[in-house]
Amino acid sequence: MDRKLRMGMVGGGPGAFIGDVHRKAARMDGQIEIVAGAFDIDPKKSKQMGKELAIDPKRVYGDVAAMIEGELALSEEERIDFVSVCTPNHTHFPIAKAFLEAGFNVMCEKPMTLSVDEAEQLKVVAQKSKKVFGLMHNYTAYPMVKLAKDMVKQGDIGKIRKVIVQYPQGWLARATEKEGSQQAAWRTDPKKSGIAGCMGDIGTHAANLAEYITGLAIKEIAADLTTFVKGRRLDDDGNCLLRLSKGAKGLLHASQVSIGQENNLAIWIHGEDGSLEWHQEHPNWLYVDKLGEPTQIWKRGNDYIGAKSEAAGRATRLPFGHPEAFLEAFANNYCNFADTIRAKAAKRKPTDLEKDFPGIKEGVLGMKFIEAVVASSNNNAAWTKL
């Protein structure tokens, strides 16, 4: 490594959750340094965060426009290599668009935009820009998820029949948004979050996980969304029937009001010859079943993992039994994103392994999922095409 990549950040001010996660993940492997940012809509808070991060105050900006202007004014040897967009949902589109158009690579939080229309626009912008665009669907970056994907691809469980994917949480079981929680406030505000609440925030992760592992597309959805907490303006729970490509069937459910559930993203995939099961809260194990055989637990870090899946092996930092978790998955996306940027800088075509991070395509699909889910639910759970 001749030098670290220089990262800028929009969002991630004091008290923000996901911006700090991006920073920790980006730093972990020592190939990225954070050198600039517009961390908060309040310039004082932005400065405060810049100071906490020991960033040169000249590169702590008051807004996106100033940041783009300021960074472009710097030499290529100083300028940020990419920006991470960690703001509330409604600003992802304009900010990502502005940076792409200004010639910066972008790592963007999900959902990519507020609508399919915006998503399609961003797709065009990204293609024109020839810049690298990453979308932070972090859960597909767990090594055992990559292993699962490769097992499916290699035919280990045969043709897929059924997919069950869930993402239950319980933290919005009460009207926390009225009790001062910033995290709850913007997630339940249609202006900031878009047309879906629970299904946009976490349902999209479930859909993305199912499509990533199976390689199938969700074709139709029948969704029954509910707002259980009085006065809340967006859904806080949803149950969906799925029809996927190649005749597979499925179920997707998500919730923010299931008390006791923390972040229980999990998936069960049943094929003609076997099944896979994975739980995000215990991410180092993948359960594998073959017809008529004992259940197997594949455990991250073992030689047999790398032998089966190069992607899983590459996404592993620690030996077996030394658990990895959420931050490492996040960091895996940063690694592949960075490798792709470096490959382009070296005028080299990035490999499939390097390109293994979510981007525009997943962003468009996410918006289609959200629009279909909401449309179906508004239509009494009628089947709705994506």
CB of 3 to a copy of itself, least distance (A): 5
Nearer to a copy of itself, 322 or 361 (CB): 322
| Binding to a copy of itself, residues 147-166 (CB under 8 A) | 157, 161-162, 164
Question: What are 224's two structure tokens?
Answer: 């029954």
Among 88, 200, 274, 366, binds a copy of itself (CB under 8 A): 274
3-state secondary structure of 355: coil
Number of neighbouring beta carbons within 10 Å of residue 99: 29
Contact flags string 343-372 toward a copy of itself, x per CB under 8 A: ------------------------------
Task: Check residue 42 for interaction with a copy of itself (CB under 8 A).
Answer: no
Task: Check residue 45 for interaction with a copy of itself (CB under 8 A).
Answer: no
Task: Check residue 380 for interaction with a copy of itself (CB under 8 A).
Answer: yes
Find out whether 70 and 59 touch, Cβ atoms under 8 Å.
Answer: yes
Region of 103-111, 124-132, 219-227, 352-360 interacting with a copy of itself (CB under 8 A): 219-227
Among 235, 324, 356, 371, binds a copy of itself (CB under 8 A): 324
What is the Cα–Cα distance from 246 to 98, expressed in whole angstroms? Answer: 39
Task: Check residue 179 for interaction with a copy of itself (CB under 8 A).
Answer: no
Task: Check residue 201 for interaction with a copy of itself (CB under 8 A).
Answer: no
Nearer to a copy of itself, 78 or 272 (CB): 272
Nearer to a copy of itself, 28 or 121 (CB): 28
| Binding to a copy of itself, residues 277-306 (CB under 8 A) | 277, 280-284, 287-299, 301-304
Find out whether 251 and 211 touch, Cβ atoms under 8 Å.
Answer: no
Nearer to a copy of itself, 119 or 301 (CB): 301
Find out whether 305 and 143 touch, Cβ atoms under 8 Å.
Answer: yes
CB of 352 to a copy of itself, least distance (A): 24
| Binding to a copy of itself, residues 8-27 (CB under 8 A) | 17, 20-21, 23-24, 27
Question: What are 53's two structure tokens?
Answer: 């991060």
Find out whether 133 and 341 touch, Cβ atoms under 8 Å.
Answer: no
What is the Cα–Cα distance from 360 to 363, expressed in whole angstroms? Answer: 5
Find out whether 163 and 269 touch, Cβ atoms under 8 Å.
Answer: yes
Question: What are 113's two structure tokens?
Answer: 């935009």
Angle between the N-to-C axes of helices 64-72 and 92-101, in degrees from 0 to 180, rounded to the nearest 10: 20
Count the residues of the shown chain that bind a copy of itself, applying the rule CB under 8 A: 96
Pairing relationship of beta strands 274-279 and 266-271 according to DSSP bridges: antiparallel
| Binding to a copy of itself, residues 222-241 (CB under 8 A) | 222, 224, 226, 228, 237, 239-241
Q: Is 158 left (phi over 0), alpha (psi -120 to 50) or beta?
A: left
DSSP lists the bridge partners of residue 222 as 241
Among 260, 346, 347, 352, binds a copy of itself (CB under 8 A): 260
Burial class (CB in 10 A: 0-12, 13-18, 19+), 295: exposed
Task: Check residue 57 for interaction with a copy of itself (CB under 8 A).
Answer: no
Among 255, 316, 332, 336, binds a copy of itself (CB under 8 A): 255
